[in-house]
Chains A and B, each alone.
Chain A
Amino acid sequence: MGMSTRLATGGRLLNRARAVEFNFNGKRLTGYEGDTLASALLANNQVLVGRSFKYHRPRGIVASGAEEPNALVNLGKGGRFEPNQRATTTELFEGLSATSQNHWPSLEYDVGVLNNYVARLLPAGFYYKTFMAPRAAWKHVFEPIIRQSAGLGKAPKDRDADRYEHFHAHVDILIVGGGIAGLQAARTAAASGARVLLVEQTANWGGRAPADGSVVDGIAAEEWITKAVEDLEKMDNVHLRTRCMGAGVYDHGYALAYERVADHLPANGQPRHRLWRIRARQIVTATGAIERPLSFAGNDIPGVMLASAVRDYVANFGVSPGDRTVVVTNNDDAYRTAIALKEAGLDVPAILDARPEATGPLARRARDLGIRVEPGKGIAKVIGGKRVTSVKICAQSGEGAALEEIPCEAVAMSGGWSPVVHLWSHCGGKLTWDETNAHFRPDPDRAPTNQDGEGFVKTAGAASGEVSTANCLKDADAAGRAAAKAAGFKPEPGDAATAEAEEVQPMLPVWVMPQGAGIAKRMKMWLDYQNDVKVSDVQLAAREGFESVEHAKRYTTLGMATDQGKLSNINGLAVLSQSLNSEIPKVGTTTFRPPYTPISMGSIGGEARGELFQPVRQTPIHDWHQANGAYFEPVGHWRRPYCYRRDGESTEQAVQREVKNTRQALGLLDASTLGKIIVRGPDAGRFLDMLYTNMMSNLAVGKCRYGLMCSENGFLIDDGVVARLDDDTWLCHTTTGGADRIHGWMEDWLQCEWWDWQVYTANVTEQFAQIAVVGPNARKLLEKLGGMDVSKEALPFMQWADGTIGGFSTRVFRISFSGELSYEIAVPAGQGRAFWDALVAGGEEFGLMAYGTECLHILRAEKGFIMIGDETDGTIIPQDLGLDWAISKKKDDYLGKRAQARSHMTDPNRWKLVGLETLDGAVIPDGAYAVGEGRNANGQRNTIGRITSSYYSPTLDRGIAMGLVDHGPNRMGEVIEFPTLGAGSQPIRARIVDPVFYDKAGEKQNV
Chain B
Amino acid sequence: MSDAISALSGAHATGYVTVTEAGLRGMITLRGDLGATKLKAAVKKLIGADVPLVRQNTVNADRGVAWMSPDELLLMVPHAEAESCVAALAKALTGTHHLVANVSDARAVFRVEGAAVREVLAKISPADLSPAGFAPGQVCRTRLAQVAGAFWLTDDETAEVVCFRSVAAYVFGLLEHSSRTGSEVEYS
> Which residues on A are within 8 Å of B, measured CB to CB?
163, 165-170, 195, 236, 239, 268-271, 274, 277, 279, 606-608, 611-612, 614-620, 637-638, 678, 680-682, 758, 760-762, 764-768, 804, 807-809, 828-831, 833-835, 838
Docked-complex contact A270 and B2, CB < 8 angstroms: no
CA–CA, A269 to B177, complex, Å?
A: 12
Docked-complex contact A268 and B1, CB < 8 angstroms: no
- A168 to chain B: which residues have CB within 8 Å? 122-123, 125-127, 129
**What 6 A-B pairs have minimum CB-CB distances, sorted nearest first?**
A830-B4, A269-B182, A834-B2, A760-B99, A617-B166, A766-B106
Q: Count residues of B near A (Cβ-Cβ below 8 Å).
A: 55
B35 within 8 A of A: no
Docked-complex contact A612 and B174, CB < 8 angstroms: yes
B38 within 8 A of A: no
- A760 to chain B: which residues have CB within 8 Å? 31-32, 71, 97-99
CA–CA, A165 to B15, complex, Å?
A: 15
Docked-complex contact B130 and A163, CB < 8 angstroms: no
Q: Point out the residue from A279, A681, A838 that lies within 8 Å of B99, measured CB to CB.
A: A681
CB distance from A260 to the nearest CB of B (A): 14
- B63 to chain A: which residues have CB within 8 Å? none
CB distance from B164 to the nearest CB of A (A): 5
- A617 to chain B: which residues have CB within 8 Å? 164, 166-167
Q: A681-B97, A829-B165 are in contact. Are A607 and B170 (CB under 8 A)?
A: no
Identify which of residues 84-126 in chain B touch chain A, using a CB-to-CB cut-off of 8 Å: 97-99, 101-107, 119, 122-126
Docked-complex contact B181 and A269, CB < 8 angstroms: yes
Q: A681-B99, A760-B98, A830-B5 are in contact. Are A607 and B124 (CB under 8 A)?
A: yes
Q: A828-B105, A829-B165, A830-B6 are in contact. Are A762 and B128 (CB under 8 A)?
A: no
CB distance from B134 to the nearest CB of A (A): 9
B11 within 8 A of A: no
Q: Point out the residue from B1, B167, B183 that lies within 8 Å of A809, measured CB to CB.
A: B1
Docked-complex contact A767 and B97, CB < 8 angstroms: no
- A834 to chain B: which residues have CB within 8 Å? 2-3, 5
- B178 to chain A: which residues have CB within 8 Å? 165, 607
Q: A167-B122, A168-B129, A807-B2 are in contact. Are A829 and B187 (CB under 8 A)?
A: no
Q: What does the 1/0 interface line of B145-178 toward A look like (CB < 8 Å)? A: 1110000000000000000111111100110011
The 20 sampled A-B contact pairs (Cβ below 8 Å) are: A166-B124, A168-B125, A170-B128, A270-B182, A607-B178, A612-B170, A612-B174, A615-B146, A620-B165, A678-B101, A682-B97, A766-B103, A766-B107, A766-B165, A767-B102, A804-B1, A829-B165, A831-B4, A833-B5, A834-B2
CB distance from B154 to the nearest CB of A (A): 21
The majority secondary structure among interface residues of chain A is mixed
- B36 to chain A: which residues have CB within 8 Å? none
Docked-complex contact B187 and A167, CB < 8 angstroms: yes
Identity of the chain A residue whose Cβ is nearest the Cβ of B134 in the assembled complex: A170
Q: A619-B166, A760-B99, A765-B106 are in contact. Are A612 and B177 (CB under 8 A)?
A: yes
- A838 to chain B: which residues have CB within 8 Å? 2
CA–CA, A271 to B120, complex, Å?
A: 13
Identity of the chain A residue whose Cβ is nearest the Cβ of B31 in the assembled complex: A760
Most B-side CB within 10 Å, residue of A163, A168, A268: A168
- B3 to chain A: which residues have CB within 8 Å? 831, 834
CB distance from A638 to the nearest CB of B (A): 7
CB distance from B167 to the nearest CB of A (A): 5
- B145 to chain A: which residues have CB within 8 Å? 606-608, 612, 615
Docked-complex contact B130 and A607, CB < 8 angstroms: no
- A269 to chain B: which residues have CB within 8 Å? 180-182
CA–CA, A638 to B170, complex, Å?
A: 12
Docked-complex contact B99 and A166, CB < 8 angstroms: no
- B146 to chain A: which residues have CB within 8 Å? 608, 614-615
- B170 to chain A: which residues have CB within 8 Å? 612, 615-616
CA–CA, A270 to B165, complex, Å?
A: 30
CB distance from A815 to the nearest CB of B (A): 21
CB distance from A162 to the nearest CB of B (A): 12
B42 within 8 A of A: no
B132 within 8 A of A: yes
> Which residues on B are within 8 Å of A, measured CB to CB?
1-7, 24, 29, 31-32, 71, 97-99, 101-107, 119, 122-130, 132-133, 145-147, 164-170, 173-174, 177-178, 180-183, 185, 187-188
CA–CA, A809 to B101, complex, Å?
A: 16
Docked-complex contact A767 and B130, CB < 8 angstroms: no
CA–CA, A615 to B170, complex, Å?
A: 6
- B128 to chain A: which residues have CB within 8 Å? 170, 279
CA–CA, A506 to B66, complex, Å?
A: 66
Docked-complex contact B99 and A680, CB < 8 angstroms: yes
Docked-complex contact B164 and A167, CB < 8 angstroms: no
Most A-side CB within 10 Å, residue of B104, B106, B167, B180: B106
Docked-complex contact B1 and A764, CB < 8 angstroms: no
CA–CA, A767 to B86, complex, Å?
A: 14
- B103 to chain A: which residues have CB within 8 Å? 762, 764, 766-767
Docked-complex contact A616 and B169, CB < 8 angstroms: yes
Q: A807-B1, A808-B1, A809-B1 are in contact. Are A166 and B123 (CB under 8 A)?
A: yes
Given contacts A678-B101, A760-B99, 6 further A-B contacts (CB under 8 A): A167-B187, A271-B183, A681-B97, A760-B71, A829-B105, A831-B2
CA–CA, A441 to B72, complex, Å?
A: 52
- A611 to chain B: which residues have CB within 8 Å? 173
CB distance from B156 to the nearest CB of A (A): 15
CA–CA, A804 to B130, complex, Å?
A: 49
- B29 to chain A: which residues have CB within 8 Å? 762
Identity of the chain B residue whose Cβ is nearest the Cβ of A672 in the assembled complex: B166
- B126 to chain A: which residues have CB within 8 Å? 168, 277
CA–CA, A818 to B145, complex, Å?
A: 38
CB distance from B13 to the nearest CB of A (A): 13
CA–CA, A758 to B123, complex, Å?
A: 40
Docked-complex contact B2 and A835, CB < 8 angstroms: yes
CA–CA, A354 to B185, complex, Å?
A: 50
- A279 to chain B: which residues have CB within 8 Å? 128
CB distance from B133 to the nearest CB of A (A): 6
Docked-complex contact B2 and A768, CB < 8 angstroms: no
CA–CA, A1006 to B122, complex, Å?
A: 55
- B165 to chain A: which residues have CB within 8 Å? 620, 766, 829
Q: Point out the residue from B169, B174, B182 that lies within 8 Å of A268, measured CB to CB.
A: B182
CA–CA, A608 to B183, complex, Å?
A: 16
CB distance from A81 to the nearest CB of B (A): 22
CB distance from B92 to the nearest CB of A (A): 16
Identity of the chain B residue whose Cβ is nearest the Cβ of A277 in the assembled complex: B126
CB distance from B105 to the nearest CB of A (A): 4
Identity of the chain B residue whose Cβ is nearest the Cβ of A828 in the assembled complex: B105
Identity of the chain A residue whose Cβ is nearest the Cβ of B4 in the assembled complex: A830
